[in-house]
Structure 1
Amino acid sequence: MVFPRPVAFLVAGATGAATLTAASAPSPLYPVYQRLFGFSAFTLTLVFAVYVGALLVALLTVGSLSDRIGRRPVASGAMVLLALGMLLFVVAGGTGGLIVARVVQGFAVGAATGTVTAMILDAAKDPRRGSIVSSAVPSLGITIGAVLAGALVEFAPFPRQLVFWVLAAAYLLLAVLVWWIPERTRPASTDQGPLWRALLPSAALPSVVRPAFLALVPSIVATWALSGLSLSLGSSVIGTLLGVHSHFVVGLVLGAFFVAGTIGGAVSTILPPSTRQWFGYGTLAGGVVVMLVAVMATALPIYVVGSAIAGLGFGSTFQYAVTTLGAAAPQDQRGQVFATMYIVSYAAFSVPALAAGLATAAVGLEPTVLAYGAFVVVLVLVAVIAGPRTRRSPAAR
């Protein structure tokens, strides 16, 4: 038995959103962990960064495995591993326990990310619908994680554990449901060599995809670097620089960026193709500038507005990248293409944030945030220069 295509598409989308929920669920808890376990801002970003390190290892090893053995076993195994990661958060009693939980969680997300993105596109009725959902689920999932965790920490019993119990149960359910998503038809005649070779660390792109991919790298780095700052030091920025002390409000402010990202991805699809990039780049850079002004003025409402504008840019820019790469990638290599895309994405998600943690200890939080924002704006300008090559590529059209 398999699900009808609409149900399969819904389950695949829910799995994609749930996967990224794990990324943000600990974020409202970081200040709590920091006070409870007594670690520094650098250690906080290290806890964040080891997650991405494990995620990149997974993308480099099992990221394209679903192209060989099918989407379902990889997705199901990743959901079970995510559930284990959530349980490790429940029992974490110090910095070491948090790091172990983040490593397990990161590997699980890395195993799932490219696979579930390809699964969504495989289950979609048409490529446009698949690209909309696959580009929207990261921001949607991150929003759910931040707001859910903030609400449960602020208002529910067992504030450090309940959110992880809830997510563990959801992942175990999804681990079962993905087995009823129809598998794509794989060419039987393709000789890809022994299966173990697929597990060797690798990151590769079909030659037809490379020009568009290289032109998109600056915009991918800009969007994910900004989201990395939000989920690592974002709680500290909102609490320390903007004076917010409610965990729920912190979760809402973090969520504003990613809710807007979901909206931005949807809005981008109804714009004329010639304006999609400019809408994304303009709102991304403009929103970051507004956020920086808000930090300097200690103005929370302006910061929320800037986050929402930047979020529109995050969603629309990433949606454009997914659409372009999905159109260019051969179907039997989509897992590999999206795994490579997420390698770049998550490297941008973690490395600048880790550098920001070091800089915070050296020069302070506010100068670090201002410099980080300027870095993102510069990347957007580089993306604008690279943009004409993307528009000339067949995938972009």
Structure 2
Amino acid sequence: MSIAGQGRISPKASLVLLASILVSFLAASAAPTPLYGIYQARWHFSPITTTVVFAIYAAAVLASLLTFGKLSDHVGRRPVLLVAIAVQMISLVIFIFANGVPTLLAARFVQGIAAGAATGAVGAAMLDINRSRGTLANSLAPGIGTGSGALLSALLIQFLPAPTRLVYAVLLVILLIQGVGVVLMPETVTPMKGALQSLRPEIKLPRAVRGPVLVVAPVVFAVWALAGFFGALGPALVRALMNTSIVVAGLLLFVLGVVGSITVLLLRNAAARTVMLTGITALILGMIITLVAVMIESIPGFFIGLALGGVGFGAGFQGSLKTVMPLVEAHERASVFSLLYIVCYVGFGLPTVIAGFLVVYAGGLPRTANEYSVAIILLALVALLGLRKARKTSPG
């Protein structure tokens, strides 16, 4: 381990802080999910608008990753994280004062810019401190952040006043504390030349990881497409299957995320190939059960399928990181992390918007959910074929 600049907190504490920042950013991205029903009732927009509001975040993350994804390799992790936290706080203020779809879109866009800038930097910084624990933390954070953000938002909406403001105020305080922590943590890289040039958008992979990235890309796309669908349209789907409270709707992402995180912990010492196969198998089974549950309108079956989808989410993402990141040099970590997250957020946003149009123009929400499940199953099968072909060269 090499620490380029000494700080006032230990490397171990820094790792915990960095993981908590990633959790906070993902929690902030999931916090609006239980609120979409309230926004829709107040401002009278369609499911298409819901998915566009949801997907503008993914588009902004992509733009930010392409522009700022490699910046922390040049200027250091701390400066990028501090700016990203500040921008994330601005987005939360916009959410607090949102009074219609335009301000909602603006909040999601600013939030996406912040998340994209932070993702590569925080992920690489955790690997700088400890490669094995950093990989585990990077795998755990998406599930914990997404699940906790959605459930916290739902609970605050259900039981406390100011439902469209309170969750954002809570996140503001958390981010402020984390910003102070970043100031006190040590820098993990030595700044180097080329910062301005690194802002030029490009997709560049080190030769050593090109094959492995092609192998893991379909499953990464599939598991984040699953998260995107349940984040944007899951609450509406549950309401279509049964009359329920906002808390139950918030449980969707919580179940997906927490089961995914438990899976990551259970498989943390397994070989990369084993983790990938577990994720792909669980994803296929989960989508088959979800497909049947929606057809027969079974809520227990729906949540069983969702839980298996959570296993697929956690294992698929963890297996992808374990396959790719051990092959990456230290100075390439932020850029490779950013590229993997580009695949994630294309999967997170694009299929969700398509689903929104299908809901309105091609048969409604249950039918769209079925078609979405079939598409994810097909992607998982493609990933399985790719894994079989790469069996002799895949790590683990």
1:8 aligns with 2:14: yes
For residues 271 and 209 of structure 1, what CA distance do their matches in structure 2 show?
20
2:89/2:175 contact within 8 Å kept:
yes
Q: Is the CA contact 1:265–1:317 (under 8 Å) kept in the aligned structure 2?
A: no
Tell me: CA distance 1:359–1:274, structure 2 relative to 1, closer, same or farther (3 Å): closer
Number of residue equivalences: 389
Shift of 1:115: 1.1
Task: For residue 337 of structure 1, report the CA deviation from its aligned partner.
Answer: 0.2
CA shift, 1:272, in A, is 4.8
2:147 maps to a residue whose letter is T
Alignment check: 8 A CA contact 1:244 1:250 kept: no
The equivalences for 1:256-295 within 5 A come to 256-295=255-294
In 2, Cα distance between equivalents of 1:205 and 1:273 = 20
TM-fit CA distance, 1:374: 0.2
1:138 partnered with 2:142 = yes
Cα pair 1:216 1:390 within 8 Å, conserved: no
Offset of 1:274 from its aligned partner?
A: 4.8
* TM-score normalised by length of structure 2: 0.95
Query: Could you tell which deviates more after superposition, 350-359 or 4-13?
Result: 4-13
Residue 207 of structure 1: CA displacement?
1.1
1:202 aligns with 2:206: no
**How far apart are 1:224 and its partner, in Å?**
0.7
Gaps of 5+ in 2: 1-6
From 141, 155, 158, the counterpart of 1:151: 155
Q: 1:92 aligns with which of 95, 98, 109?
A: 98
1:50 maps onto 2:56 in alignment = yes
Compare 383-392 and 373-382 and name the one that shifted more: 383-392
Is residue 2:367 matched to residue 1:387?
no
Within-5 A mapping of 1:180-259: 180-186=184-190, 192-193=193-194, 195-240=195-240, 242-259=241-258
How many Å apart are 1:268 and its aligned residue? 2.0
Q: 1:279-314 CA distances to partner (integer Å, 9 max, x unpaired)?
A: 111111111111111111111111111111110111
Gapped regions of structure 1 (runs ≥ 5) = none
Q: In the alignment, which residue of structure 2 is the partner of 1:357?
A: 356
Letter of the structure 2 residue corresponding to residue 5 of structure 1: P
**Aligned 8 A contact 2:23 2:146 in 1:** yes
The code of the aligned residue for 1:278 comes to L
Superposition RMSD on alpha carbons, in Å?
1.4
Residue type at the aligned position of 2:150:
A
Shift in CA distance, 26/390, structure 1 to aligned 2, threshold 3 Å: farther
CA displacement 1:340-385 (0-9 Å, x = unmatched): 1101110110000000001111121111110000000000000010
Cα 1:173–1:383 change in 2 (3 A) is: same
Please give the alpha-carbon distance, in whole angstroms, between the structure 2 residues aligned to 1:236 and 1:177: 38
Once the 2 structures are TM-superposed, how far is the Cα of residue 335 of structure 1 from its aligned partner? 0.2
- How big is the shift at 1:186? 3.2
Q: 2 CA distance for matches of 1:114 and 1:251?
A: 28
Kindly indicate whether the alpha-carbon contact (under 8 Å) linking 1:212 and 1:389 is maintained by their aligned counterparts in 2. Answer: no
Distance 1:378 1:224, change over 3 A: same
Q: Determine which of 176, 180, 197 is the counterpart of 2:180.
A: 176
CA distance in 2, matches of 1:303, 1:297: 10
Q: Kindly state the Cα deviation for residue 49 of structure 1 after the two structures are TM-superposed.
A: 1.0
- With over 3 angstroms needed to count, the CA separation of the structure-2 counterparts of 1:25 and 1:269, relative to structure 1, is same
For residues 329 and 274 of structure 1, the distance between their equivalents in structure 2, rounded to whole angstroms, comes to 18
Q: Which residue of 1 aligns with 2:315?
A: 316
Assess if the C-alpha contact under 8 Å between 1:186 and 1:332 holds in 2.
Answer: no
Give the structure 1 partner of residue 376 of structure 2: 376
Q: Is the 8 A contact 1:261 1:316 kept in 2?
A: yes
Secondary structure of the corresponding residue to residue 208 of structure 2: coil
Aligned-partner Cα distance in 1 for 2:245–2:349: 26
> Aligned-pair distance for 1:273?
4.8
The Cα shift of 1:324 comes to 1.8
